[in-house]
Structure 1
């Protein structure tokens, strides 16, 4: 027996505990239910008596609402900083910049001044901007710097760990540029909360304590004479204990007093360069002097009557998300239902083709010709889709990047912001792997990134996230490495609708894709959309992983019968921090229950 119940009716009976079932495969059509506007979509959840205990959520978390502003960020203290800035009269950019500096203190695994990131901004009038402050390869970097004499990748993973793993940091320059162009409060006001947190200390959450304890051996290996992130008695950290970072506070105060000069010049720069010399790193003063964040044209594409605004290269996220949505738009995902075999199949097949294109065509547009327009053309995508069949899985070994005429062949953190005027910011920043290169700058107390691994250190060899790279992403001095970060803002009928983003390496793209569809097609609230279990496919390796419980046995059976390699994993996928604008203008924050992520509104 199988029935459909509208979400509102279901809520009145069982609250937010939904039971999900696979629906019968429906052959694809190019028509969707055009009589129902997305803004009026109540959504439907398919369910049956197949599994009385099944739930689509990793856990259930209450939504957070606000009329005057909303922050969704990785750490509760950082989210509170953002809201406090809004209450002082700051705008979304002020809140975003203050929160990023706070994250450098309270979330050392990914928050940073030694890394970089991307920012998408939509102002209250609907004009959009994107800022690229991705790290750059130092001038002394070279194409084969991580290969031995036999052209094999060197032992010890030098692009992951240690001083040679770091690109020139971009965070401080980028955040200063964003504030100078759009901020309202003073730079001194923006920096003070982070300085206070570093000087006075922040109480460790259970996850932060566990992360520091887990990384203790690596901290000692790459910082043998330092005691940063260590307790004086060398015992393990416990939840609630105070992490005080006096040297980081001094570094932040220099930035407060001198702006970018307080990081790229003077004492902090000298400390950074001394650290590079101590460990054989290659960043020089010339690299620091020459670093400049870059304003770029956003990727803007439509999905039905929604406008998707996302990050262009060297982020692969915007192009990839736009391609994914164009592939699945013709299909009746709402009618098929969430995580049914038909819905899941078209999503996996789209992901397979998109990640193949990513591996070949995408890189830093300042160094390679990225065929951005061609990759998003309807005829190109139709050609890529011709070998898709509903009765069997496509073999990734047979999927290559598309042919384009005229061309030669995680640890990250995300935050979303909206202020009372409707200005919105989506910002994703990263050190790459958790705690970056594990190198702490002596005397300045901040971690350096390991972003050099995001280059293709050898064509065809996967990076730490299993992503295959090629010539477009080869190492070149001063080049920005390709990224999966996908900070995104969505409009509906010309009005702000969603602010989306997540950390997660290669899973960033697919997580943003799924959360968007959870709201746009499956009628979920933002918190439900964030909490819903997720899956991931990235072309190679040719397998789909999903969070435990994400599919019914019936759906898994059908998928496997068609040849899909699909397996559960105990690790979670992504950590979304998102905002949804409700019809009455109220902001709903959706902060991921998978970690310490927290939404705060007022």
Structure 2
């Protein structure tokens, strides 16, 4: 009679937290909630859910919810923990975008905490004059891996705004788990050891970075080693005591400004004191009976996800089938059209007027859809940004959190490249972003991800660079139905759009939708990137239609939550190791 309790206890000790919870609950409710006709199965929860790219951060977020915190408290705690455990992307030295659904107010807020160009920055700062007097692009080291490549960080300001306006916990409470991790250290995983080995040259360049991520004898950290970050613990302790003031005006600010001045960087105390988050109105569109709430400019993601969905709504994708050549062809053509428009019309809305209403209109999308051949690919050279005049009347990580009261946070934030600029501010442990590289150097020069941009995205003091980050909250009947987002540079937009299509058009469960192979085309260069897993026969059909196919490594790392029929369903993308979703029960 005691066998079952003993087994259950043993499993709870041996299995990861999410697995033990899911096992215990699913065994009790399987007939109602588990579909055995599907290949992959989401995690299930009843009292909330956390999904992130790092299992330690997910566990911290779940613990905050268990302690009575809401989704906002949990999201800030996860973000701070990722700064410790996922140093290549989690950060307090970068910035990002966040979609937040506030249950009591029944509304979604778009929080823009994107980095801004310093006061001393200018559009010609990454050009040099060669011996013939010609202006040429500066070295990659200066552009991407120097103190000069950093924009003013916005992450801490974003977290602070969110916590003060909608949180229930203090900075001290939400920062405590991250402080402990930084101070005591955590076990290096195979994934982190591999990344540290790959980025050894970048991390060895600056002494303040080298002393944290490379051992004194010059060797790299191995899986099983303990990584301690004492200086980062100090910075997190300052935040616990003073919140954003510590970062933008206090002790942290002084160390950032001093190290920048010492190393030819641009960020000053005036830049830090001037930084403000921007609360914006989400981009809104529909697909069937669902409403897409996504990030507006300077993120290009929301605008063009909605634009692509509007185009594709004119075709019967469900009838074609999710992994058919016919569906892949149409999705590719929609991507080309949207990315072409992205190259011309997107910028910082505080500096330029962006024709968002037209780009996201059903009428414009319907006319674009008419231009698509069902049988032949259109060469990128034959596609130009659309004429909007007739319609007038523009290494990242993601996590999702939802609580039992219906509050929801979808957050995507970044350092841009893996480990950003590779610069750690002396005495702080803070890795700095290299997001000045997200600006357009010139309309004829692609950015760091190969994307073309316009003069509206040139470097200018105070301006926020255009981004592909696409945190998204899909609602049904006004309530959150799907939270999703991904890293991936220029592939973020296409990754998120395909996730939404898989759920809404192809009626896939969250796990199957996430694991399905992805494609990507960004107009320029003219190449259709295909993930492993797409049938060779399908590829041959696409090539016969005129597509220039290219085998790609995996794209993105979706961290998604769905709320349906009174249950939370969550799934962490298997494309990146170490991710985890926890459902509270």
- 1:80 pairs, out of 29, 50, 59, with 59
Partner residue of 2:115?
Answer: 135
Match of 1:54 in 2: none
Alignment RMSD (CA, Å): 1.9
**What is aligned with 1:222?**
206
**2:126 matched to which residue of 1?**
146
* Rounded Cα–Cα distance in structure 2 between residues aligned with 1:391 and 1:76: 44
CA contact (8 A) 2:204 2:214 kept: no
Is 1:481–2:465 an aligned residue pair?
yes
What is the CA-CA distance between 1:267 and the residue it aligns to?
2.2
Deviation at 1:378, TM superposition (A): 2.6
Greater Cα offset, 371-380 or 86-95: 371-380
Q: Is the 8 A contact 1:72 1:598 kept in 2?
A: yes
Deviates more, 1:206-215 or 1:80-89: 206-215
Match of 1:563 among 535, 543, 546: 546
Distance 1:356 1:225 in 2: 38
Tell me the distance in 2 between the aligned counterparts of 1:341 and 1:225: 47
Alignment partner of 1:589 is 2:573: no
Is 1:356 the counterpart of 2:340? The answer is yes
* Structure 2 counterpart of 1:496, from 464, 480, 485: 480
Q: Distance in 2 between matches of 1:434 and 1:223?
A: 18
> Paired residue for 2:555, among 546, 555, 573?
573
Aligned to 1:52: none
Q: 1:598 to 1:386 in 2, by over 3 A?
A: same
CA gap 1:566/1:190 in 2 versus in 1, 3 angstroms:
same
Alpha-carbon distance in structure 2 between the residues aligned to 1:326 and 1:169: 34
> 499-508 or 185-194: which moved more?
185-194
Q: Which residue of 2 aligns with 1:316?
A: 300
TM-aligned CA deviation for residue 224 of structure 1:
7.2
Gaps of 5+ in 1: 1-39, 46-59
Distance in 1 between residues matched to 2:215 and 2:41, nearest whole Å: 35
* Greater per-residue helix proportion: 2
Give the match for residue 111 of structure 1: 90
* TM-score with structure 1 setting the length: 0.87
Q: Equivalences for 1:223-262 in 2 at 5 Å?
A: 223=207, 226-262=210-246
Q: Output one character per residue of 1:94-153: Cα deviation in whole Å (capped at 9) or x when no partner.
A: 100110011111110001110001110112253111110000000111011111222321
- 1:540 maps onto 2:524 in alignment: yes
Name which of structure 1's ranges 389-398 and 423-432 shifts more when overlaid on structure 2. Answer: 389-398
Contact 2:121 2:461 in 1 (8 A): yes
Tell me if the contact between 1:320 and 1:355 (Cα under 8 Å) persists in the aligned partners: yes
User: C-alpha displacement at 1:597, in angstroms?
Assistant: 1.4
Residue of structure 2 in register with 1:68 after alignment: 47
Partners of 1:272 and 1:200 in 2: CA distance: 24
Matches of 1:457 and 1:157, distance apart in 2: 15
1:446 to 430, 445, 463: 430
Q: Which residue of 1 aligns with 2:191?
A: 207
CA contact (8 A) 2:203 2:209 kept: no
Give the equivalent residue in structure 1 for 2:450: 466
TM-score, normalization by structure 2: 0.90
Q: Call closer, same or farther: CA 1:62–1:237 in 2, change over 3 Å.
A: farther
Distance in structure 1 (CA, Å) of the matches to 2:36 and 2:135: 54
Query: How many residue pairs are counted as aligned between the two chains?
Result: 543
C-alpha offsets along residues 318-377 of structure 1, whole Å, 9 cap, x if unaligned? 101100100001211111101211111110010001001111000100001111111122
What's the secondary structure of 2:96's corresponding residue?
strand
SS at match of 1:486: coil
Structure 1 match to 2:18:
none
Moved more, 554-563 or 538-547: 554-563
Gaps of 5+ in 2: 1-32
